[in-house]
Structure formats: C-alpha cells, structure tokens
Amino acid sequence: MRNMRSVWGQLHKKVYEENIDNKCKICDDEEYDSFECCPFKTPGLNTAPWIEFTERISCKMSSSVLRLRCQSKAGQHCLTQLSSNSSVGRLKEVISEVTKIPFAYIRVRQGYPPKEIDLTDNTKTLSSLPLQSGDTIYVDEDPSLRQRQKERLDTDLQVQIQELYVRGVLMRKTVPANNSCLFTSINAVMTKGDVDLSSAHQMRQLIAGIVLSDPEQFNSAFLEKSNSDYCSWIMKDNSWGGGIEISILSKYYEVEIDVVDTQSGRIDRFGEDMNYSKRVLLIYDGVHYDPLIMEPMIPGEPMQTIFSTKDENILAQAMEIASEAKATRQYTDTANFSLRCNICQVFLKGHIQAQSHAKKTGHKDFGEV
C-alpha cells in the first residue's frame, strides 16, 4: 500500500506540474500522496500526463526486472539481463554464458532443501516459474540430460546406418572409354544400371531424330554447325557427346541429369529449370563420363539409379565421390591428354592444340587416343 501511495503521489505531482495554475483541489499541495485523490475529479486539469505515466508504470510492472543470484562450480554470479517476460530458453542462455555449462544440460534448483525447477519448455516465460527477484538459484550440469542426449544421438546414428544399409551405397560404375561413354552412361542410369554398349547407337539415332525434327530450335547458332551436318556428325561412333546431347536427353526422358565434375567440384544440373521430380547422376573427369548408381547392401535387391530431386543427401554423396576422385587425381588432365583429329588423323596434345587445330582447319571431330 505504501508503494502504491508513493506512485499515486508521483502521478499527482506530475499532473500538478503540468497544470501550475490549476492546483489539485483535493491533494495536499506539498505532499501529493493522498491515496484517495484522483485528478479526474479536479475540473480543468490536463489528464494526459496522468494517462501516459499510468501506462508507463503499468508496462514496467508487467515486465519487471528479475535479478537472480546464480551459484555454480564456476562461482557466484548475478544475473541481471532477465525480466519476468524472458523465456526459459533465455534464462538457460544467460546461465550457460556465465557457467560454461552446455545449454542442453543445465539443471536449476532453488530453495532449501534445493528443489529442481522444470526447464523443459524453453518457450515458457519466467513469470510461470517459482522465481522472484533476489532469489538464489543453484546451477549444475545434469548427467542424466547428457546421457539422454547421448542415447538420442546413438539412436539417430543407428537409424541412419540402418537406412544406409537398407538403401545402399552410391558408387561409380565404370563404362568403356570408346567415344560413346556419355550415351552408354545415360542409358545405364535410365535402365537401373545396365551397361549395354549397343545402346549408344540407338541414343545417337534418338538425338539425331529430335534435332532433325525441329530445325528452328536446333539451328546453327545452337549446334555450332548446320542442322543436317550435326545429324550426320552425331551418328558417327567416334563423335563425343556433351552438354547439347545431355540437355536433349534430359528433356526427352523428362528427368534432371546432374553431372558431377571431379576436377572443378561442380555439379551441372541439366533440366533443373524444368522442375522435374526425378534426377539421375553422372560423374565426369574432364573427358570421360561414368554413371553413378546406388548399390544395394542387401543381396538380391535391385540397384537404384533414379532419385528424387528433393533428395539433397544424394547430391552430397555424389560430391564426396568427386572429392575422393580429385584427391587421388582420378581425372583427365585436359592440358596434356592425347587426341586425334578424326578428319585428318593428326595427333594433338591437350585442348589448346585441339582448339588451335580447329581454328586453322575447321575440323571439330576429335577422338581420345
């Protein structure tokens, strides 16, 4: 009651100071602490300061500062960064800062004999706990919480291992380096890992047919040669496939084809803009393509080659394979590998000589030696 009288007096003093010509007719002009006095009863007084001050006091009272003494193995600390509206999570953050106890393992007790306070719900406000400003809390690490956390981690790990065991392991499946590795690899991932060398010719026919049927889209600017010349070129067994052919096959199969580059560590996602629901994976070493397949851990189970585009974990596994290949230098050094021009049969070394030869002669048909 005395505190309320004091606040009431301050309110009246505020009103009085704002209305010097209209002194409070009920309150004592010197004391301003009559609990019964109300400025609204005094004609002519400006009540705006009263309302503003009352709201400020009310707000302050609803979110009062909470000062706690914290005792732990790290010593005694005064926690002053809290209020009754602070969350349990915030209390644990402050405690963790001063005691160095991990957030998840904090145990708080209070009173005598000390009783543990339930801090399981981090969203609750401190006003819901039996805490008052000036209280002493005893903080330590709860070994049972650490044990439960370890058990949860162990369980999660076992689940992951079990899922991996059931699902399988992503790995590289090698196909022959016969100038048709791209087509053999794409056919493999579209047929559950079947490496059929005869499929390359069918793939070339498929691409030639698609290109020939749409000369407006597949023009010389897109193909870097005339439509008819391209179709004749792609049908040759020694013509390499690349980005153009991957994009055509991605659209034909309505699947995202992701190419993992072992040298750059980049993933080129053909068809990503089409929002396909499925993806297949190839690995590329600068010259050669191989399919990536999921080998089953359970004997007799089929291998998996088509994955959901929402499965980011499969991309991470593909990147791990690429990183391992790069670390062991399992990629082609395009600056020094040997090539042969399939038109004039000239032997060349590296992509720079190949580019120079193409500029001088117009020949763009090369094969790896």
Q: Domain containing 127 — which CATH number?
A: 3.10.20.90
Question: Is 355 inside any structural domain?
Answer: yes
Same domain, 193 and 283: yes
Same domain, 138 and 105: yes
Same domain, 177 and 291: yes
pLDDT in tens, the chain (369 residues): 444 445 555 555 544 444 444 444 444 444 444 434 454 445 555 555 555 555 554 444 445 789 999 999 989 999 988 998 999 999 999 999 999 999 888 999 998 888 999 998 999 999 999 998 899 999 999 888 777 777 777 676 666 655 554 567 888 999 998 899 999 999 999 998 889 999 999 999 999 999 999 999 999 999 989 999 999 999 999 899 999 999 999 999 999 999 999 888 889 999 999 999 999 999 998 888 999 999 877 777 788 999 999 988 889 889 988 888 777 654 444 455 566 677 777 776 755 666 676 667 766 566 655
Select from 248, 246, 209 the least CA-distant residue to 231: 209
Same domain, 320 and 238: yes
Dihedral Cα 140, 143, 145, 149, nearest 10 deg: 130
Same domain, 83 and 229: no
Same domain, 107 and 141: yes
**How far does the chain reach from its first CA to its final CA, in angstroms?**
99
Question: Is 217 inside any structural domain?
Answer: yes
Between CA 246 and CA 248 the distance in angstroms is 5
The count of domains in the chain is 4
Domain hosting residue 347, numbered range: 333-369
Question: Is 175 inside any structural domain?
Answer: yes
Query: Please, are residues 361 and 344 in contact by the beta-carbon 8 Å criterion?
Result: yes
Query: Please, are residues 142 and 117 in contact by the beta-carbon 8 Å criterion?
Result: no
Between CA 216 and CA 206 the distance in angstroms is 18
pLDDT of residue 147: 77
Question: Is 97 inside any structural domain?
Answer: yes
Same domain, 250 and 194: yes
Question: Is 123 inside any structural domain?
Answer: yes
- Token readout for 154 is 């162990």
Same domain, 107 and 119: yes
pLDDT of residue 34: 43
Among 62, 90, 111, identify where a domain stops. Answer: 62
Question: Is 163 inside any structural domain?
Answer: no
Question: Is 158 inside any structural domain?
Answer: no
Strand partners for 289:
284
Same domain, 285 and 244: yes
Total-model pTM:
0.50
Same domain, 179 and 324: yes
Question: Is 241 inside any structural domain?
Answer: yes
pLDDT of residue 143: 83
pLDDT of residue 145: 76
Same domain, 199 and 101: no
Between CA 169 and CA 318 the distance in angstroms is 10
Distance set, CA 52 to CA 15, 21, 25, 33, 49 (Å): 11, 21, 21, 19, 5
Provide the CATH number for the domain around residue 264. 3.90.70.80
Select from 317, 161, 341, 164 the least CA-distant residue to 239: 341
Same domain, 138 and 267: no
Strand partners for 66:
82
Query: Please, are residues 189 and 246 in contact by the beta-carbon 8 Å criterion?
Result: no
